[in-house]
Amino acid sequence: MNQLLKGIAASPGLAIAKAFVLKSEEYTPVQTTVGNPELEAERFMNAVNQARAELEQIRASTEEKLGAHEAQIFEGHLLILEDPDLIDVIVDRIKTESVNAEFALYEVSQSFIDMLNQMEDELLRGRAVDIQDVTGRVMNRLRGTDSGNLSQMTEPCIIIAEDLTPSDTAQLNLQAVQGFITEIGSRTSHSAIMARSLDIPAIVGAGAGIRNIQPGTMVVMDASEGVIVVDPGVDELAGYQEKKREYDRRKSVLAQWVNRTTASKDGKLVELAANIGKLEDVQKALDNGAEGIGLFRTEFLYMGRSQLPTEDEQFNSYKYVLEKMEGKPVVIRTLDIGGDKELPYMDLPKESNPFLGQRALRLCLDRPDLFRTQLRALLRASRYGNLKIMFPMIAVLDELLEAKRILQEEKQKLAAEGVELAERIEVGMMIEVPAAAISAHVFAKEVDFFSIGTNDLIQYTMAADRMNETVSYLYQPCHPSILLLIRMVIDAAKQEGKWVGMCGEMAGDETAIPLLLGMGLYEFSMSAGSILPARELIARLSQSEWSGLAEQALTMHGQQEIQAFVQNNKKGEQ
Ligand SMILES: C=C(OP(=O)(O)O)C(=O)O
Ligand SMILES: [Mg+2]
């Protein structure tokens, strides 16, 4: 029966294949009394050892396929099998109560899972999923049931499941599995993250509707849109097959651009960098040919947990990113909390206008303890790569000078402690407040670089909340007022011999790119998926021609006129 379902687009792509329905088996063991508890405990430990061997194998193959960081989750799984609070307690119950191993395993692990599931902290709830995954594996070994069928699939299929555990996802036979759809989950669930790393289409959180999908039914998943078509009609199927061919063709054309430098048709070199928020994003940035990280939004290290990250935790994260980028530039932005990004555990006072309130650097200057911890972690990590430190939300010069003074103090303290630092660390600021754009000539003397944050610059220039749908018509990147501010910033930096980047969404906007290139922007930082299309586009554009065209655009009256002007002139560059 033809049916249309929607879910959360978790990993892009388009797949068409027969459904492979993975039934999650509910199994509650019954309690039995065993005659030889010692032998039963031994049977249990054998199952634990077999599960350990399986996990070792999954860990090794994940490391080979995706890298050490992605494999870390299985190190956590292996540790669960070493945990005396779990394993020893189960053995103890088998021995003292003479119960069967399945029952003891179920009882003890379930009490942990129930307890963790009640926690507020998302991370702890995530740990419940890990325990379920690992103990389920031991249970399979005890019962002689097989969880390995995921790696044994041979026919092309789309997996339909209630949820996929990380180890399920790691075991997928990618020769056969074209994509997966789950009933529950979010974009940030582990299986979604792994799907993006594995580059297979995934739709999660599709709801109970997918339970009706019968094994073997033809399914189309347009994972870029989160759309699922079950049992499509002939014409519909043909339409999607055509769309898939186009998608695959475009993907293979773009893949040729991964290892190229970014240059315009007339040889002007620019840099295409990636915006990241989590450590997992670094691999994706590299896979998409990023020449650097133009914005690491460090606030994500502070979110989804119950307390501030320590200096060492932060140091490890920064070191990881710097090492992974192997000397390519990495711009790390200091904490930008406030506005729409909250940290419940900090108990910050409620503001009636949070986007205009104590946000980002304003908060850091008010809470130097917080700020200094982050700066120390950054400075300590600096020797592992090409670090550039960036301050967000600066409006007036005094803020920048104070931030630089604190940074200098921490540098001196660390040097006095004998900590080795990079010889040179560039210091820059975001231009996202109109006052800073207008005073760029003043700031340019005090920084090594600017990065224009258009997401905020547009909302503050237009007085239109970036989160508010009803005023989204005012959110106009190509409005002359925004373009004029951008040009002022670029010109002011050039006067002082400093470089300018952009890390707002506008940097990846294919209508804005020709104008930005023409105005002399050097670094374009965007979500990883936009890099290759941008590189291909820039290679078709002449920087010198677009310099003149951008001048013309700046004399126009509105965004629509400018967009039409760009489209017309882009056509000539095909
Ligand atoms: C990149 C920016 O910062 P964020 O989106 O994190 O506010 C911006 O404002 O353009
Ligand atoms: Mg911003």
Convert the pLDDT of each residue in 166-204 to its tens digit.
778 878 888 899 999 999 887 767 778 778 778 899 999
Evaluate: CB of 453 within 6 angstroms of ligand 1.
yes
> Is the confidence at residue 120, as pLDDT, over 90?
no
Residue 147 has a pLDDT of 54
Of residues 14 and 26, more confidently modeled: 14
Residue 275 has pLDDT above 90, yes or no: yes
Same-domain status, 207 and 280: no
Any residues with CB less than 8 A from the CB of 336 and at least 6 apart, and which?
Answer: 297, 298, 299, 359, 360, 361, 392, 393
Which residue range(s) make up the domain with 554? 256-571
CA 466 to chain CA mean position, Å: 21
Last residue of a domain, one of 94, 128, 143: 143
Residue 126 has pLDDT above 80, yes or no: no
Average pLDDT score over residue span 1-7 = 88
Report yes or no on 153 lying in a domain. Answer: yes
Task: Give the least confident one: 246-255, 315-324, 483-492.
Answer: 246-255
Q: Taking 70 as the threshold, does the pLDDT of residue 425 lie above it?
A: yes
Domain assignment of residue 29, yes or no: no
Residue type, 111: S
Please choose, from the candidates 379, 361, 327, the residue with its C-alpha nearest in 3D space to the C-alpha of residue 456. Answer: 361
Tell me whether residue 32 is in a domain. no
At 19, the amino acid letter reads: A
Alpha helices in 172-310 (DSSP H): 190-198, 234-255, 280-287, 299-302
Tell me the three state secondary structure of residue 177: strand
What is the best residue among 275, 296, 297 to mutate for testing ligand 1's pocket, by most ligand atoms within 8 Å of CB? 297
Query: Which pLDDT belongs to residue 122?
Result: 67
CA distance 78 to 86: 13
277 and 395 housed in the same domain: yes
**pLDDT of res. 58:** 86
pLDDT value, residue 48: 95
Distance 556 CA to ligand 2 centre (A): 27
Q: Report which of 186, 163, 134, 149 is spatially closest to residue 8, judged by C-alpha positions.
A: 186
Total domains in the chain come to 3
In this predicted complex, what is the ipTM?
0.99
Question: What is the dihedral sign for C-alpha 428, 434, 437, 443?
Answer: negative
Q: Ligand 1 pocket, 232 CB below 6 A?
A: no
**Taking ligand 2, which is a single-atom ion, which protein residues have CB atoms under 5 Å away?**
432, 453, 456
Asked whether the beta carbons of 62 and 71 are under 8 A apart, the reply is yes
Answer yes or no: do 181 and 271 share one domain.
no
pLDDT of amino acid 151: 67
CATH for 342 = 3.20.20.60
> Which of these ranges, 35-49, 62-76, 375-389, 529-543, has the smallest mean pLDDT?
62-76
Q: Which of 145, 143, 200 is nearest to 171 (CA)?
A: 200
pLDDT-derived band at 314, boundaries 50, 70, 90: very high
In terms of domains, do 433 and 328 share one? yes
Domain annotation covers residue 43: yes
Domain boundary among 232, 253, 274: 253
| Region 401-419 average pLDDT | 98
Same domain, 128 and 238: no
Mutation to probe ligand 1, out of 296, 432, 475 (largest number of atoms < 8 A from CB): 432
Question: Same structural domain for residues 266 and 390?
Answer: yes
Q: Specify the pLDDT at position 146.
A: 63
Contacts of 508 (CB under 8 A, 6+ apart): 524, 526, 527, 530, 531, 534
Q: Is the CB of 222 under 6 A from ligand 1?
A: no
Q: Do 162 and 210 sit in the same domain of this protein?
A: yes
If asked whether residues 313 and 180 sit together in one domain, one would say no
Q: Are residues 426 and 283 in the same domain?
A: yes
86 and 233, same domain (yes or no): no
> For residue 85, what is the domain's CATH number?
1.10.274.10
